Amino acid sequence: MSNQNDQHDNRKEPGNFKFDFNKNRFALFFLISLIAMFFILFLVNGESPSREIPYSTFISYLNQGQVSSVKILDSNEIYGVLSGQSDTVSSFKTRIPYYDDQLMKDLRAKGVKVTGAPKPVSIGEIILQLLPWLLFLFFFWFMFRQVQGGGSKAFSFGKSRAKQYTGEKEKVRFVDVAGQEEAKYELTEVVDFLKNPSKYTAMGAKIPKGVLLVGMPGTGKTLMAKAVAGEADVPFFHMSGSDFVEMFVGVGASRVRDLFERGRKNAPCILFIDELDAVGRTRGAGYGGGNDEREQTLNQMLVEMDGFDTKTGVIILAATNRPDVLDPALLRPGRFDRQVVVDMPDVREREQILKIHASKIPLAENVDLNLIAKATPGTSGADLANLVNEAVLYAARANDKKVTTSHFEEARDKLLLGIARKSKLITMEDKKATAYHEAGHALLHYYLDNSDPLHKVTIIPRGRALGMAVSLPEKDSYSRKKGWLVDRIKIAMGGYVAEELIYSETTTGTQNDIQQATEIARRMVTEWGMGKTTGFISLGKEDEPIFIGKEIARHKDYSEETARMIDEEVKSIMDSCLSETRKILSDNVEQLQTLAKELIEKETLDDSDIRTLLGFPEKPKGNDSEIEQKGADE
């Protein structure tokens, strides 16, 4: 569970184009040299020692006997010197614009000294021709180097992109991770090995080479790995599984080798691979064969881990929320031979997480974090961190100096139910229909023995629902009995029956309720063995392609007769629940109308308001804990 903001690595990230002078001094010097060379050549070539004259002027000088010598180049250029009779030009150059067969005869007749030579190629001309290519190559090399993030190495495809966390001022410790005592106990052994390896090696013990952290998203797997590094006080290398795979074959395997080599050089240390399933999925999965590059990367990882010497003091941690799709070779003893479950927090752990986050904000004295923890079951550490942040944002928008219970309530409703759309224009007729619909849901909570206690009911639109009834169970439940499931179906039917009683017809707002009720009834028959005639049997197997990672179909492994039996069982459960729901609301239609009218006026009523309005006894203290949404779809 995420109880503390991650420490960020301030080093240069790959693909970040921020110019670093210290790392790019050579590139900067090279660029400045090219520019200086260009200007020098421009200045040198801009002042020619010989003045260029038209060819007709040259012929005129020649006829007047003013030309003393010429040098004719194979490029039809003539460089010459005048005899000094002219006070304007002493040396000149010109170009022969046409084939002149009379030129040599005239030169001999005037006694001009004639020489010839090929056209010289100056260094400046060579550099001027190469300069555009040099600039292009420099630009390509510099951009490629920046993109790859290879430091002083231009080509670094095969280098590991792992971020190293060392010397942090605020290291993460186990005390910063609320709850997860079992996971901490498993990882304490890893920490102790990194601190005192001789204690284990002296007795011939072998520490697990790889530890796999398994848990739902947001439970704090990465934070737990950093806590191990913080406790052991060793370098911590972090890399995502997707960072290994590239479009070029062999790059991923090269990065694996580089990562493990960096680990050996910095031992003792921890190598942490996040989202391992991105590279460690079962080989050969998928239509038409697997990805060769990904499989080569996985093969290299298997080789590195299996040949890894535990005496080097390098521990490999990895995290995933899909351990079922990992290749079996990764999970065998000698590789990731220990799995540590980082589970969703229970109510006690949720309170501890809230205390850690609440210690950083101005909290009002009357805020009861225990009640907030009870009202947020099924939430991860990341969810709770977001809850606290949203509560602070609500307090800041209201210009309050401290965060109160109402701010937490509003933040919880926003995160779990959706933002309130108070600006939505709803006609009085729709508002009235929604009020009766939600009153039907709410009233059933007080007449059903196995339902969760009602928390509040509202006709303010949230998310896609026009209204909702919110219930909170008294404690965290990890399994449900048949009585609770049946009552849950009846509560889902409450809006449908209420509309039927008042208007003698129903609306499209019952769509979501019907889907929920039907799904529960079908799973009772096909998965949980609660059907009267089907009994203790699982009907229908989910097809889960590994390469997709989710269900796309349900395999029908039973006959048509059994399918008919399933449909009859589901309909029997639905009909029975619908009949009982109609009886309850029909017998208490006056309370239904009273509750609906109060909802139209006040829009939101909590449990105490409803008990006072309808004369129900007060609820026992301390039973806020889970939110379930039951409302009319918009």
User: CATH code at 510?
Assistant: 1.20.58.760
Helices 589-602, 482-503: inter-axial angle, 10-degree rounding? 80
Task: Check if 438 is active-site.
Answer: yes
188: three-class secondary structure by DSSP: helix
pLDDT tier, 2 (very low <50, low <70, confident <90, very high otherwise): very low
Token digits for 175? 């005390």
Residue 557: pLDDT above 70? yes
pLDDT at 126: 65
467 shares its domain with 553:
yes
Query: For the chain, what percent of residues have pLDDT higher than 70?
Result: 75
Residue 137 lies in a domain: no
Contact (Cβ atoms closer than 8 angstroms) between residue 326 and residue 282: yes
Contact (Cβ atoms closer than 8 angstroms) between residue 412 and residue 376: yes
Our measurement of the distance from residue 80's CA atom to the centroid of its chain's CA atoms, rounded to an integer in Å, reads: 76
pTM above 0.85, yes or no: no
Number of domains in the chain: 4
Residues 596, 593: Cα–Cα separation, whole Å: 5
Using DSSP bridges, classify how beta strands 113-117 and 67-73 pair: parallel, antiparallel or unpaired: parallel
Alpha-carbon distance values, 222 to 181, 350, 548 (Å): 16, 18, 24
Residue 238 lies in a domain: yes
522: three-class secondary structure by DSSP: helix
214: three-class secondary structure by DSSP: strand
Alpha-carbon distance values, 28 to 19, 23, 150, 212 (Å): 10, 10, 17, 46
337 shares its domain with 359:
no
Q: HEC string of 64-98? A: CCCEEEEEEECCCEEEEEECCCCCCCCEEEEECCC
381, 398, 417 — which closes off a domain? Answer: 417
Tens digit of each residue's pLDDT (9 = 90 or more) over 76-112: 788 888 876 545 557 888 888 877 778 888 888 888 8
Alpha-carbon distance values, 144 to 30, 157, 160 (Å): 16, 11, 17
Residue 328 lies in a domain: yes
Token digits for 94? 């010109």
User: CATH number, domain at 375?
Assistant: 1.10.8.60
75 shares its domain with 219:
no
User: CATH number, domain at 251?
Assistant: 3.40.50.300
| Mean local confidence (pLDDT), 493-508 | 92
Contact (Cβ atoms closer than 8 angstroms) between residue 110 and residue 83: no
Query: 């309720």: which residue's tokens?
Result: 513
521 shares its domain with 406:
no
Measuring CA to CA, which residue among 423, 427, 474, 483 is closest to residue 452? 474
Long-range contacts of 23-29 (CB under 8 A, 24+ apart): 23/151, 23/152, 24/142, 27/138, 27/142, 27/145
For 556, phi then psi, to 5°, come to -90, 105
Residue 14 lies in a domain: no
Residues 494, 633: Cα–Cα separation, whole Å: 14
Tens digit of each residue's pLDDT (9 = 90 or more) over 558-610: 888 888 999 999 999 999 999 999 999 999 999 999 999 999 998 888 888 89
In this predicted model, which residue has the larger pLDDT, 208 or 344? 344
Non-local CB neighbours of 564 within 8 Å, separated by 6+ positions: none
| Mean local confidence (pLDDT), 151-178 | 62
Alpha-carbon distance values, 147 to 19, 252, 338 (Å): 12, 17, 37
Token digits for 551? 């269900």
Contact (Cβ atoms closer than 8 angstroms) between residue 311 and residue 201: yes
Contact (Cβ atoms closer than 8 angstroms) between residue 244 and residue 407: no
User: CATH number, domain at 94?
Assistant: 3.30.720.210
Residue 158 lies in a domain: no
Tens digit of each residue's pLDDT (9 = 90 or more) over 359-401: 889 998 888 888 888 888 888 888 899 999 999 999 999 898 8
451 shares its domain with 334:
no
283, 315, 341 — which closes off a domain? Answer: 341
Residues 122, 128: Cα–Cα separation, whole Å: 10
222 shares its domain with 292:
yes
359: three-class secondary structure by DSSP: coil
Contact (Cβ atoms closer than 8 angstroms) between residue 403 and residue 395: yes
Measuring CA to CA, which residue among 245, 333, 248, 259 is closest to residue 295? 245
Contact (Cβ atoms closer than 8 angstroms) between residue 33 and residue 249: no
Residues 354, 373: Cα–Cα separation, whole Å: 8
Segments forming the whole domain that contains residue 75 = 54-119
Sign of CA dihedral 351, 357, 359, 364: negative
pLDDT at 285: 54
Residue 224: pLDDT above 90? no
Query: 């070779």: which residue's tokens?
Result: 329
417, 443, 459 — which closes off a domain? Answer: 417
Token digits for 185? 């106990």
Quote the DSSP letter at residue 589. H
466 shares its domain with 433:
yes
Q: H or E segment at 470?
A: strand 468-471
Tens digit of each residue's pLDDT (9 = 90 or more) over 422-449: 666 778 888 899 999 999 999 999 999 8
pLDDT at 159: 60
Alpha-helical (H) ranges within 445-588 are: 482-503, 511-526, 560-587
Burial track 331-348 (b if 16+ CB lie within 10 A, e otherwise):
beeebbbbebebbbbebe
pLDDT at 586: 93
538 shares its domain with 440:
yes
Residue 30 lies in a domain: no
Strand partners, 314: 269
The phi-psi region of residue 284 (left if phi > 0; otherwise alpha if psi is between -120 and 50; otherwise beta) is left
552 shares its domain with 486:
yes
In this predicted model, which residue has the larger pLDDT, 588 or 170? 588
Alpha carbons within 13 A on the beta-carbon side of 582: 9
Cα angle 548-553-557, degrees, rounded to a multiple of 5: 130
Query: 């391992």: which residue's tokens?
Result: 276
327 shares its domain with 458:
no
Neighbours of 57 (CB within 10 A): 12
Residue 20 lies in a domain: no
Which one from 275, 351, 438, 598 is the annotated catalytic residue?
438
Contact (Cβ atoms closer than 8 angstroms) between residue 7 and residue 163: no
568 shares its domain with 619:
yes
Using DSSP bridges, classify how beta strands 51-52 and 628-630 pair: parallel, antiparallel or unpaired: unpaired
Residue 195 lies in a domain: yes
Alpha-carbon distance values, 127 to 42, 121, 135 (Å): 11, 11, 11
195 shares its domain with 300:
yes
